[in-house]
């Protein structure tokens, strides 16, 4: 899609960039809380749970470091990366600041003041067409996008020591955001340096879409990386916390099962 934000709004569901997305519908005809009615709700509650304070429950928020990642590089037109505005609701969703950043019909300043540093996810929310959320969001969740496939393919080429070929696929993603080609700004990167750059590319392109944990696991960065960016992982124990414990009941009924490391 030419417009990055089209991948996250209701009006552009099942678009040409979507490889796989979970389908949701508002289903207003069955607007009851009767749990035994199988047609009760085809919508998603994610928008309500992730919605910003005073709109939703703020169960999922972003850390400020991702904002800094998206401001490291300007577009070829000397503008801010447009993915920042499309991805997050915070004091500078609008580059002009909290008095211009609209949060569900009101300015950030009027809702939270000028010094609030919280950052909420904007992807898959509904602020572009209504001023509240609910438990029946019709907005589909795009789980695999073509941009993700391109970055994964570039990573595979780099791992296969074909780094020069990998540049083209990263450039396809960067150019949509208006950034200079990586092959121009950072040519001839080593295999190691290219992977470091690719880690940045994935977090700026795919933030909030549910891929970060698996990325860190694949790179062997769980624990160390999380500890530097999110204080919630200060208690992460490498070699243990990557896996949840197997319930004792399951071990009792299957003697072939062994408890995951560190949970005995």
What is the tens place of the pLDDT at every residue in 62-84? 999 999 999 999 999 999 999 99
Strands in the chain per DSSP E: 18-22, 61-62, 88-89, 102-103, 106-107, 119-121, 141-145
pLDDT of residue 12: 98
pLDDT of residue 221: 84
**43 touches 138 (CB < 8 A):** yes
> What is the pTM for the complete model shown?
0.90
Question: Which residue is associated with the tokens 């200079």?
Answer: 180
pLDDT band of residue 222 (cuts 50, 70, 90) is: confident
pLDDT of residue 254: 97
The rounded percent of the chain whose pLDDT value lies above 90 is 82
Residues 6 or more apart whose CB falls under 8 angstroms from that of 215 comprise 199, 202, 203
**209 touches 142 (CB < 8 A):** yes
Nearest to 223 by CA among 245, 202, 240: 240
pLDDT of residue 264: 87
Averaged pLDDT for residues 230-242: 81
What is the set of domains in the chain, with CATH numbers? Answer: 4-8+22-30+38-142 (no CATH), 143-231 (1.25.40.900)
**108 touches 98 (CB < 8 A):** yes
219 to each of 32, 155, 187, 230, 245, how far by Cα in Å? 45, 11, 23, 18, 22
Q: Which residues pair with 144 in a beta bridge?
A: 20
Does residue 95 register a pLDDT over 70?
yes
């Amino acid at each position: 899609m030419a417009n990055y934000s089209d991948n996250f709004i209701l009006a552009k569901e099942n678009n040409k960039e979507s490889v796989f997305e979970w389908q949701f519908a508002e289903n207003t005809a069955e607007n009851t809380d009767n749990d035994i009615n199988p047609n009760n709700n085809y919508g998603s509650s994610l928008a309500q749970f992730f919605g910003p304070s005073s709109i939703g429950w703020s169960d999922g928020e972003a850390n400020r470091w991702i904002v800094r990642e998206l401001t490291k590089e300007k577009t070829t037109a000397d503008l801010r990366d447009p993915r920042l505005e499309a991805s997050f609701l915070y004091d500078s969703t609008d580059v002009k600041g909290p008095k211009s950043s609209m949060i569900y019909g009101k300015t950030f300043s009027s809702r939270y003041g000028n010094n609030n540093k919280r950052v909420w996810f904007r992807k898959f929310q509904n602020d572009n067409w209504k001023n509240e959320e609910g438990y029946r969001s019709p907005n589909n969740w795009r789980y695999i996008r073509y941009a993700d496939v391109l970055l994964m393919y570039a990573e595979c080429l780099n791992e296969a020591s074909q780094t020069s070929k990998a540049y083209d696929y990263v450039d396809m993603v960067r150019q949509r955001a208006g950034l200079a080609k990586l092959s121009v700004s950072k040519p001839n990167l080593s295999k190691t340096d290219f992977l470091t750059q690719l880690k940045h590319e994935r977090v700026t392109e795919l933030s909030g879409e549910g891929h970060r944990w698996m990325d860190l696991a694949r790179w062997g960065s769980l624990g160390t990386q999380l500890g530097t960016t999110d204080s919630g992982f200060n208690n992460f124990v490498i070699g243990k916390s990557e896996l949840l414990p197997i319930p004792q009941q399951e071990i009792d009924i299957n003697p072939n099962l062994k408890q995951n490391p560190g949970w005995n």
